[in-house]
Amino acid sequence: MSVARSTALFSYVPDITLSLLGIGLMLVGLVAISSASIEYADWHYQNPWFHTQRHMIYLLLALGGAAAVYRVPPQVWLETGWVWLFVALALLILVLIPGIGREVNGSQRWLPLGPFTLQPSEFAKLAMVVYLAGYMVRREHEVRHQWQGFLKPMAVLFAATLLLMIEPDFGATVIVVATAFGMLFLAGVKLGHFMLVLLGAVGAMLVLVVSEPYRVKRLTAYTDPWADPYNTGFQLTQSLIAFGRGEWFGVGLGNSVQKLFYLPEAHTDFVFAIWAEEMGFVGAIAVIGLYAALIGRIFWVGRKAVAARNDFGAYVCYGVALVFSGQAFVNMGVSSGLLPTKGLTLPFVSYGGTSLIVCCAMLALVLRIDRDTRAVRRRS
């Protein structure tokens, strides 16, 4: 086989490093969920592998969806970004309609689809990234030099965050807003415009926090969870106990005590705490290292896209990296007591079908951008 032909074939192979990092996190998630949910599933469903089996189905669906996304040229996403945004907003409205959306623990965030559920807020993150990336390419001069170019996406962002807060889903709101601001900053908006709107957004967030008693309770519990360890501080204190029990090398896979109904639904938002208890400081740092490498690699793909004059691809990569880094930081920060408690999944690791499918779709989109970037560089 000639060198030219082998080089051409290589340009169509997904980035091996990025693919392995994603697969590594998914395998960690499968193991962590299996261990964290076994007693909970046995008690509630009389099947200790209930959540493991469902998560494996989610993995197959996610990998199938990722394969489909990988086959779609980025130009299609650029031209249809507004369509995905419209679908996301429609789903966010649909979930709020009584009798259609499912309410769990006071939040109406899920659409029932037979034996499974769809969480529109997860899809909204992907839709917002794709839409903003396309908008910043089409309106590059306006975004960088004029107020209206910056305020137009803010109006769309306001509509999305309003719908998210009605559910309510404060965690998803924070991630969507932070990702949008991060993408606009990287697109080169004027610092004065950016800071003014950013300060307004932070002020609005503070108002939202103090406007609801349960958010205030979460904040006070975060500052001193041991003041009320059996009520408002219960989840955080149990999570901290899990971290403490893990020490350096953990108590061993499957040997967690905190998953025995001390930490509520440990396979979802607090799965990292159970992982740290069973695998210790070393295991927790290994997962953090996987995230750091994954996010760094995505930013690197974005930089290559800029060099290849593929601004849309670069903005998508930056947006995906911001979503992954924001969610990972918030989830692990919450479970370790660094941040106030809020419901956010750990990308690729926490139990949740919609989150896993959307994360794999985002990663597949980055892989396709990397493939096209390498193809352009090969031709040049």
Rounded to the nearest integer, the mean pLDDT of the chain is 86
Q: Which of 47-51, 186-190, 230-234 has the highest mean pLDDT?
A: 47-51
Q: Give yes or no for residue 102 having a pLDDT over 90.
A: no
Which ranges of 212-270 would DSSP assign to H, the alpha helix? 213-223, 234-246
Question: What is the C-alpha to C-alpha distance for residues 371 and 70, in angstroms, rounded to an integer?
Answer: 9
Judge whether 330 and 170 are in contact, CB under 8 Å: no
CA-CA-CA-CA torsion for 350, 355, 356, 358, nearest 10 degrees? Answer: -160
pLDDT band at 283 (very low <50, low <70, confident <90, very high): very high
CA–CA distances in Å: residue 185 to residues 8, 190, 253, 295: 36, 8, 42, 18
Q: Give yes or no for residue 84 having a pLDDT over 90.
A: yes
Partnered with residue 104 across adjacent β-strands are: 107
Q: What is the mean pLDDT of residues 121-136?
A: 94
Q: What is the mean pLDDT of residues 193-222?
A: 71
Structure tokens at 356: 């896993």
Q: Give yes or no for residue 46 having a pLDDT over 60.
A: yes
pLDDT of residue 376: 78
pLDDT of residue 217: 67
Which ranges of the chain would DSSP assign to H, the alpha helix? 3-10, 16-45, 50-70, 74-94, 120-138, 140-145, 147-166, 170-186, 191-211, 213-223, 234-246, 271-307, 311-335, 353-379
Question: What is the C-alpha to C-alpha distance for residues 318 and 133, in angstroms, rounded to an integer?
Answer: 9
Structure tokens at 86: 């419209």
Q: What is the mean pLDDT of residues 320-347?
A: 89
**What are the backbone dihedrals phi and psi of residue 102, each rounded to the nearest 5 degrees, phi first?**
-100, 130
Q: What is the mean pLDDT of residues 361-368?
A: 97
Least confidently predicted of 64-68, 69-73, 244-248: 244-248
**What are the backbone dihedrals phi and psi of residue 310, each rounded to the nearest 5 degrees, phi first?**
-110, 80
Q: What is the mean pLDDT of residues 236-265?
A: 87
Q: Give yes or no for residue 340 having a pLDDT over 60.
A: yes
Q: Write the CB contacts of 380 (distance below 8 Å, at least 6 apart in sequence).
A: none
Q: Give yes or no for residue 333 having a pLDDT over 60.
A: yes
Residue range 2-17, pLDDT digits in tens: 544 544 445 567 889 9
Structure tokens at 46: 């009389």
pLDDT of residue 212: 67
Q: Give yes or no for residue 229 having a pLDDT over 90.
A: no
Q: What is the mean pLDDT of residues 54-83?
A: 94
pLDDT of residue 5: 52
pLDDT of residue 35: 92
380 closest CA partner among 326, 304, 321 = 304
